[in-house]
Structure 1
Amino acid sequence: MSYGFTDILQLIGSLGLFLFGMKVMSDALLKLAGNKMRSILATMTSNRFFGILTGFLITSVIQSSSATTLMVVSFSNASLLTLAESISVIMGANIGTTITAWLITILGFKVSMSAIALPLVGFGFVFTFSKKEQSTHWGNFIIGFALLFIGLQFLKEAMPDIKNNPEILAFLSRYTDLGYLSILLFLFIGTLLTVIIQSSSATMALTLIMCAQGWIPFELAAAMVLGENVGTTITANLAALVGNYQAKRTARAHLIFNLIGVLWMLVLFYPFLRFITWITSQLGSDSPYVNAAAIPVAISLFHTMFNIINTFLLVWFVNPIARLVEKFVPAKIEMDKAIDEPKFLDKKALQFPETAIASLIKETKYLFKNAIFEIVSHTMNIHREDIMSDEKIKKVIKKSQEDLKTNVRELYVSKVKTIYGEIIRFATTAQSTLSLTKEQHNQVSEIKVANRKMVESIKSTSELGRNVSKYLNSDNKYIKKEYDKFRKKVAKVLRIIYLFRTEENNADYYQKLQELKQEAKDNIHKSTKQIDRLIRKDLIDAEMASSLVNDNDNVNDTVKQLIEVAELLYGNRDSILENNVDSQ
């Protein structure tokens, strides 16, 4: 055999060039269309057919089913997609990946790209000098596209020719004449190659070249394609190993979906191949059983038809597949993290803008619902349960006369300070390392503003809280009554915010918050007539008067800050952002 070590290295190098071209092209397309694609994916509806269309379009555009499935796994990890939605997107991605096979078949075998590939590299290289980021990405896409076909040409040339190396045919004939066992063997080879190379497109290219060179017949090439469908699921499963149970479920669903498809195809394997042969003959092509040159088209057609039929058979069983996966991967109760440890900020979420923003929003809302809500209500000597109850605020204030002895500083240090710092750090990292759109950058800025407002509300409440406790059961009924009014004002705002974020029809609560915010703005730094009256009539002493005047400002600051946080996290945020983003 004349095929030596140098030839093997040339074959590996050709494959490497093909993969590099595929990566450069895919990465450039991701940068060109990734934001829009991810935006569509993050906001998609639960309609399974729309999910299939989304998966198909994303994979067709970015030319990488692995990138699509990794995106889906990441989105599942961040709870942006449900399991059923993830399954439908992956179904569409399986169809989308067949576009690559047709690209290789038509331009790599039917059209000679070798003559124009190098000029294309030069043409694309010129674009990379552009100061416009979009033009640079287009340049990289053109270079990647050309390198892919240069690599494919090298692959065809580096693959040993059976005419010059008859030993290969003798070696392969031992395994190609075993009937159904040969089908299973080459299915396994296709799976193994895809797992090793980590690219079903590269394995498809190798399969097509092996067919064109006469190494393997049509049916064994089809078996390798089935193996590639199984092998391509490994990427997502490897990525899900470090994800949560939702990510693992999505990856397992991908594996189960492709395995089910392979199983029914093995049962109908030979009739299906005859069906593909009939279609190719109707299209004017030779039979793949007769002419090896016709196999690439037949294999691409087989790949496409299999994935389309498999998808439209199993699309009706998305929910049963989801339930099956849920049994295989039960929901895992996360170990309770330390009180000052973030619950949702995960380095993996910094892979995409959408997952980073989702994590930031969840962490901020969790901090607000638990720590901030508790600290503010307890500082007013009111239990959270009473705020969230249906009991009238007036009665809540009247019965809440026990000093809860809330140490605001201690609670801030133990429940807020560290998490607040981690949120700001995570947000700043996202803004500096991710390619955020202007809208996404503004979203992250809004989250930072919301967190800053929460900390400010604690500081305002801290000042107020000391005097609330001091005068809670004062012998002076006038000062007690004034501080009960302050407590009532804060409690009312907390309750409306609670209803605003929990009720589905919350327009009325939003309107009430706007009215309370305007009222608080008008009252800041203004002494009320009631306080003036109490001072004039000597119903309160000088110390009480000073406290009341200061705390009138504090309560209005607290109210305004809490409402602005609620707006940023749960409602209309534009006006808040405009007023605050510049002062970060």
Structure 2
Amino acid sequence: MQLEGISVLFSFIGGLGMFLYGMHVMANGLQHFAGGKMQRLMSFLTQNRLMAILVGTLVTAVIQSSSATTVMVVGFVNAGMLNLSQAVGVIMGANIGTTITAWLVSLSEFGSVLNPEFYAPLLLGIGAFVILFTKSEKKKQIGEILIGFAILFIGLSFMSDAIKPYRDSPIFSNAFTMLGKNPLLAILTGTVVTAIIQSSSASVGILQTLAMNGIVNWKSAVFITLGQNIGTCVTALLSGVGSGRNGKRASVIHLSFNVIGAVLFGIIMYVLFLIFPAWGASTMSSVDISIFHTVFNITCTVVLLPFAEKLVWVSGKLVPGTEETEDELEGSEAKKMAKRLDSRVLGNPLFALATVVQEVSVMGHATCQNLELALAAVSEENPQKAQKVYEREKDINSMEKILTEFLVEVDNLSLTEGQQEQVKNLFYTVSDIERAGDHAENIAELAETLTRNSGSFSKKGKADLELISAQTMQSLQIAVESRETGSVKSANAVRVLEQSVDQLEEEMREKHIRRLSKGKCEPESGVIFLDIISNLERISDHAVNIADYVKAESEAGIPAIRI
């Protein structure tokens, strides 16, 4: 008998493991399959709060974890990508999105034909065959979703079968009767269990498994569910510990929202159970739990939405102090970048990639500004501008280090083949931008040498230099924009400009040598002129490299990373 009990325990633990792993695999497959669509959802966060709720709901429905969504929100707030008002909407939406898992689990209550457990072995087989025998990345992602879905329900079946022999046991009935009589204990139980496994979807799934065996009553299940909603805040609170004030406030908003909702619903349900005791003692099915879970989260969102700014105000009181804006932060652009590249966004590879692209663009635009400054130092013979180029170049070098280290972390995430290719190209892009910055620094040094030697260019030389400088500047700016937007049209424009710069550099070199031979230019100034146009030509080469990475991704059918 003792051995049989151990076997049942093993079955339940194994079923729980499969359930959790299946949820993870299915969510992972859904994230990969969603591709660029998930990334583009972020752009809607700058819209109104209703849109933020919708985005929070959709993102959580895909990644199957409100905790993960909220942790990302804490990261985005801490990095300055979202403000607290926008974060409130996403957090509210995350609570609605997490109910999807409960509805998936409750499908088991519908007849054998509609019961996913009936199809789970077939889906597992199809998914395995798809992954093993297809080369298409999209088809493999579909296979991953099918396998995750199947394992989830096979695990659910294992748990349910393990509990069935004990559903008439007085242990369960006494436990749930006691929890029903003590709502605070029931809420605490739900909170602790959810905090331990760090997933309200999983803890609700376990409760639904017990409900399927007819051992859960309404009075206990309702308060346990309320506790589960509070317990899911623990992950975000832990994430907020190492963040700035606004990051901490985002996690406090999540906790405040769920606690206020649990208190309001708890009081209402407690009164209703006093009025209708028979209802409270009646058995609750897994479908009932799904309905209550959904109604609770939607109602809380509707009721508290008008008070969203009050939640922000409460978080400010609980986490006092003023958060520095990015403009008020001390230090260089590289330090600001390091703050924005918050490790919490690594929780979702798609958002992590989108964040890196945004920061690579920041580095690219800084390099464009430095090139513009270096060219001004030449045309205006201004050594002070050359000094500014040196200062900014140090910052650009620091950005390269920060981005490279972050890309190494992104590369270690669960990525598709296409995303791995994008990460590789981003490594190359960062290197090309840094090399373009080095050439801008070279031009600044040549400008200083020209001024120090009291040199000058002929009128024709200045006109030529202005022409090739404008085209080089344009090629680098458009290359950075093509990486930022994923635009193939922009990438093609860079190739045309690069060819023009190559041709101009060759023609200008020949004309300048002729001017030197006729004594129309000073020899020292002539050498500096040739060195400047050579650096400009190399900058355009790096620009076309950046654009070609974008083109290669498009030709390979890899979804563009848009911000």
When normalised by structure 2's length, the TM-score is 0.73
CA–CA distance in 2 between the matches of 1:32 and 1:441? 16
Q: Are 1:469 and 2:429 an aligned pair?
A: no
Question: Is 150-159 or 371-380 further displaced after alignment?
Answer: 371-380
* In 1: Cα distance, 2:97 partner to 2:552 partner: 45
Q: Deviations over 1:309-334 (max 9, x none)?
A: 11112222333323433454452687
CA contact (8 A) 1:527 1:552 kept: no
Partner of 2:134: 131
RMSD: 5.1
**8 Å contact 1:372–1:454 — kept in the other structure?**
no
CA contact (8 A) 1:364 1:451 kept: no
The answer to whether the 8 Å contact 1:486/1:555 transfers is no
Match of 1:331 among 323, 335, 342: 323
Spell out, residue by residue over 1:74-130, the C-alpha distance to the aligned partner (whole angstroms, 9 max, x if none). Answer: 544554444333322222222222232233234147656655544544444433423
> Given that residues 375 and 411 in structure 1 are in contact (C-alpha distance below 8 angstroms), is that contact kept between their aligned partners in structure 2?
no
Task: Compute the displacement of 1:195 (Å).
Answer: 1.1
Question: Is 1:28 paired with 2:29?
Answer: yes
- Identify which of structures 1 and 2 has the higher relative contact order when contacts are C-alpha pairs closer than 8 Å and 6+ apart: 2
| Match in the other structure for 1:149 | 153
Task: Tell me, yes or no, if structure 1 residue 55 matches structure 2 residue 56.
Answer: yes
Task: Return the offset for 1:39.
Answer: 3.1
SS at match of 2:88: helix
CA distance in 1, matches of 2:144, 2:535: 57
Give the secondary-structure state (helix, strand or coil) at the position aligned to 2:415.
Answer: coil
1:496-515 matches, cutoff 5 A: none
CA distance in 1, matches of 2:552, 2:34: 32
Letter in 2 for 1:362: E
Deviation per residue, 1:542-570 (Å, 9 max, x gap): 4444444x1462475488579x59xx9xx
State the Cα distance separating 1:231 from its structure 2 match. 0.9
Q: Superposition pairs for residues 282-431 of structure 1, below 5 Å?
A: 288-289=279-280, 291-292=282-283, 294-329=284-319, 330-331=322-323, 343=338, 349-350=345-346, 351-362=348-359, 365-366=362-363, 369=366, 373=369, 377=373, 381=377, 397=380, 414-417=394-397, 419-420=399-400, 423=403, 427=407, 430=410
- Partners of 1:174 and 1:237 lie apart in 2 by 30
- What is the Cα deviation at residue 226 of structure 1? 0.6
Residue 108 of structure 1 contacts residue 153 of structure 1 at CA under 8 Å; is this kept in 2? no
- Measure how far apart 1:373 and its partner are: 4.3
Give the equivalent residue in structure 2 for 1:507: none
Per the TM alignment, residue 458 of structure 1 is displaced from its structure 2 partner at its CA by 3.1
In the superposition, relative to structure 1, how do residues 491 and 272 fare at CA in structure 2: closer, same or farther (>3 Å)? Answer: farther
8 Å CA contact retained: 1:20, 1:148: yes
- 1:349-398 CA-to-partner distances (Å, cap 9, x unmatched) read 555133234235325524753x774587368658xxxxxxxxxx8xxx3x
Measured after TM superposition, the shift of residue 186 of structure 1 is 0.4
Which amino acid in the other structure matches residue 251 of structure 2? A
Structure 1 unaligned residues grouped into runs of 5+: 278-286, 383-392, 502-509
Structure 2 Cα separation of the partners of residues 149 and 207 of structure 1: 15
Counterpart in 2 of 1:222? 222
Amino acid corresponding to residue 159 of structure 2 in structure 1: L
Quick one: which amino acid aligns to residue 261 of structure 2?
G
Is the CA contact 2:200–2:232 (under 8 Å) kept in the aligned structure 1?
yes
Q: State the identity %.
A: 26
- State the alpha-carbon separation in 2 of the partners of residues 16 and 94 from structure 1: 24
Tell me, in whole angstroms, the C-alpha distance in 1 between the residues paired with 2:80 and 2:333. 22
Q: Could you say which residue in structure 1 is the equivalent of 2:251?
A: 251
Q: Residues of 1 paired with 2:179 and 2:88: CA distance?
A: 36
The match for 2:484 is none
Q: Which residue of 2 aligns with 1:524?
A: 505
Structure 2: tracts of 5 or more residues without a match: 481-489, 556-563
